[in-house]
Chains A and B, each alone.
Chain A
């Protein structure tokens, strides 16, 4: 498990901080193909980008501004985690197609890319290597979380 996300120094040459990168190996051309398959849209502060419980198989990449994941528990809204520019959000619903487990709200104005599962399918068909690395990266990230969850269980 790595907490490198808490040390986002905002500099380019941060030392040894290597948070797991999503599509770290993708070239600009790969990104261009990805962008071609994405919806690109602006969001406004306070806008609910993903609704809790909704079924929507898509993945979000924050390009500008900040989103945040919020969960409702016992009637109280709890902020789970901020998703600043450069974050990927919504991977669970994207992968399993089950209802969204949390809402995602815009903390600021900004812009995002949205990749729906069907666009992903044609992206992956067009460039299987890119499709595979996208899935692998998601898999790697989820594996990391699963490990952490194991730690939670063990530490109780």
Chain B
């Protein structure tokens, strides 16, 4: 790979000679300079000839070929930098007037001195001495007080304007040997980045900055011509000399201005032409003067050098001109294609918690393909997601089994395994060093493989009771999480019985909570399956997929399959879950109408939207499922409207403030949320064209997705005469009114409640399984945690979200208006909470809620003051009030 930076700065330029060398050369040049000063008085004629006839004529060529060498050698620069080398400079920044007008001063001095040559300096040794002494003192004083080279070399040095014009595309790059280090004293510093400084000047957006520089280069050829064509003083009066020279300058400027105004040139097209003209003219005439000077100093005839010098100067100027143009083109390309976009690293680093790389509460998680850095306490799942690694998720609470990972090092720096996670790992047949990524919080750095380690020995807790020998055949209806968990736990507790698992869908157990991703994701069912290959065989579970149970014969203890086969049972588990509720909507069923419950529903939606190239969708129902689906459709690229029947979102789980924020979050995403909008009618001729609400509003759309809740599948229990209300009524052992039949999951009704939640299904299935196998465990209902996931904002609520009499609530709105945290406290104990964002605090508060931990007065006072550090997290970012 070629790594040539077209515009290296002096720190990046190769250094061919040492700094020491330049120091020595500088002493020599300073000595010569002092000699000229003295010579101006003691041997004026020779000194004048030497200085004006030899030294000055050499400089333009040096500036053009290797300008950096002069910057390092210049005796005035040495004087200027002496204070810095001696450590006596006060290094104040140049005052504003100097920064703004330094160039104009320098240019004026240059023109002034050049014009005065004819009337004074060319002829008067003392005047030359005074001039040189004055600039020497000026340069030294500038360096004594002002920072870097801003007191002379880069501001008012009379030769600087010439150096900048001629030095814009050096043939030989010589790195700045003065500034160690750079103090950033000058805008577009020539010594810092010689190859780009002049183009950058010409392209500067500030007319006040660019203007004088362009004026100077416009004036330059006229100045040179005038110098050589206007007769010397003596033949003309001083005033005439000045007047005619100025007229030449004015003529040059006029030509420049006319070309500039009408030529539509890029900013650095003309300046090199004028520079090249000045250079060629200078040597055209100057060559003769040099020949004369050499003759008078050394004797002999030197006219032979005139033509070679002229030709060389022409050639040099021509090549230089083209190079300068090319530099500009390259510059424009660089700036155009790659103008670096910069950020304020200071603030970014503060936000990262101190300087990057330091120990700042961040931990590194090394996945196979990349290392992700997160703050301590982040779950492995969040870390993997922030790294956009392929990882599945469902419940985000350790119960579904979507995200097992193997921890290859640093296992001990993860948060401890809780019950639910241990159960899930066991169902997956995974032991150490595997974890469920969603519940493993990294408190230190670790390495993680997204492939679980299947060679591990599963944790297994042997049952604490004897299996019931009378139970020989267990039939489970429903291959969802409730059915599979039941099978799993029956097998764990009862090694010998036969287990038949009948499921209507054609998929093995998959993550129902993740199906919304099938709408917008590319990976189809891949990753949604939750069981390792061979799980059913290994656990000796006979699986009937794509098979419906048609009826149950309670007397004969058999179930009849849709295929006509019969299966006898000693214990039967109903785990048929539910289906999407479709309220009375006139016209529902037209093509374009959907629900979202099974994987196949989601696959159909994706297919339909693609086939018909649809881009508008209405989601009827603003509950968890509706919001998730709306987000999925939005991610798919549709414009989505959510119609919610009640007056606010997630009415039962969020307080009014959180509800409102959630709504505005969705609207900010571009998802329209309409409350008090009950969908009653679908319009369209065989295909959805619009939906109409009870309130009379009409929404045009091509897709209607109804997310109005779950209706338990009660056909079988009804058919066989079990007690059903909204669901199958069960006691705390999960038995229905027939002691041989259990009901678990979305269709079980306990104490009048149906939750329709995954973790509830898991717990109920475990309890039923223990009771079937001969043990005894009872179910206690609590208010489960509500999590809205997959929408880019974590929404969590648990317990009571509105305070009752005598309870207090501690609330805090985060910045930006979409994050919120609140806990409800009674006597120091948390009885509920709502969190939008603030995931870490949500987890800690929920732990405190689960464990009933007592908060002390100080903690409550801090929370009340908006300092949530009692729940951990970054104190430095706690809001200040």
- Interface residues of chain A, those whose CB is within 8 Å of chain B, are 1-11, 13-17, 19-24, 26-35, 38-42, 58, 61, 63-64, 69-70, 76-89, 91, 111, 113-114, 116, 118-119, 121-122, 124-131, 137-138, 141, 144-145, 148-149, 151-152, 154-155
Contact = CB atoms under 8 A, between A and B. Distances in A.
B337 A145 contact: yes
B333 interface: yes
A70 B328 CA distance: 21
B201 to A, nearest CB: 9
Contact of A20 (B3, B189, B342, B792): B342
A88 B118 CA distance: 56
B204 A32 contact: no
B783 interface: no
Contact of B329 (A9, A119, A128, A155): A155
A148 B184 contact: no
A31 B341 CA distance: 16
Nearest to B265: A155
A140 to B, nearest CB: 10
A40 B360 CA distance: 13
Interface in B184-223: 184-189, 192-193, 196, 199-200, 203-205
Given A28-B350, A80-B337, A152 B345 contact: no
B345 to A, nearest CB: 4
A111 to B, nearest CB: 5
Given A9-B189, A152-B333, A155-B328, A19 B350 contact: no
Which 9 interchain pairs have the tightest Cβ spacing?
A122-B792, A127-B816, A155-B266, A81-B338, A31-B351, A9-B184, A148-B336, A11-B184, A3-B200
Contact of A9 (B192, B342, B815): B192
B229 to A, nearest CB: 33
Interface size range of chain B in the complex = 35 or more
Interface stretch (B371-379, B750-758, B846-854): B371-379
B341 A88 contact: yes
A126 B819 contact: yes
B792 A61 contact: no
Contacts of B364: 42
Given A16-B99, A17-B187, 18 more contacts: A1-B339, A7-B187, A9-B192, A19-B339, A23-B344, A32-B874, A35-B348, A40-B372, A61-B343, A79-B1, A85-B345, A87-B342, A88-B340, A126-B816, A145-B339, A148-B332, A148-B336, A148-B339
28 contacts: A3-B199, A6-B200, A7-B9, A9-B183, A10-B181, A10-B182, A15-B184, A16-B99, A20-B339, A20-B342, A28-B877, A35-B352, A41-B373, A41-B387, A63-B345, A63-B348, A79-B2, A80-B338, A82-B5, A88-B340, A88-B342, A111-B357, A122-B793, A124-B669, A126-B665, A129-B816, A141-B339, A144-B339
Interface in B1-20: 1-5, 7, 9
Nearest to B331: A3
Contact of B815 (A33, A154, A155): A33
Contacts of B418: none
A151 B205 CA distance: 13
Interface of B: 1-5, 7, 9, 93-94, 99, 181-189, 192-193, 196, 199-200, 203-205, 264-267, 269, 328-329, 331-345, 347-352, 356-357, 362, 364, 370-374, 386-388, 635, 665-666, 668-669, 791-793, 815-819, 837, 874, 877
A77 B815 contact: no
Nearest to A127: B816
Contact of B335 (A3, A33, A63): A3
A15 B344 CA distance: 16
Contacts of B196: 3, 6
Contact of A141 (B341, B668, B669): B341
B99 A1 contact: no
A76 B2 contact: yes
Nearest to B150: A15
Contacts of A9: 182-184, 189, 192
B345 A86 contact: yes
Given A2-B204, A26-B347, A63-B348, A15 B338 contact: no
A126 B816 CA distance: 6
A3 B188 contact: yes
B10 to A, nearest CB: 11
B336 A151 contact: yes
A26 to B, nearest CB: 7
A138 to B, nearest CB: 8
Contacts of A82: 5, 340
Contacts of B374: 40
| Highest count of chain B CB atoms <10 Å: which of A10, A39, A88 | A39
Nearest to A44: B371
| Highest count of chain A CB atoms <10 Å: which of B2, B203, B340, B350 | B340
A39 to B, nearest CB: 4
A129 B664 CA distance: 13
B102 to A, nearest CB: 11
Given A40-B373, A77-B1, A116-B388, A15 B332 contact: no
Contacts of B877: 28-29, 32
A40 B362 CA distance: 10
Contacts of A14: 184
B793 A39 contact: no
B152 to A, nearest CB: 16
A1 B666 contact: no
B266 A119 contact: no
Given A28-B351, A32-B351, A79-B5, A5 B331 contact: no
A30 B351 CA distance: 8
| Highest count of chain B CB atoms <10 Å: which of A6, A32, A69, A129 | A6
Contacts of B371: 41-42
A103 B205 CA distance: 30
Contacts of A121: 669, 792
A22 B388 contact: no
B335 A23 contact: no
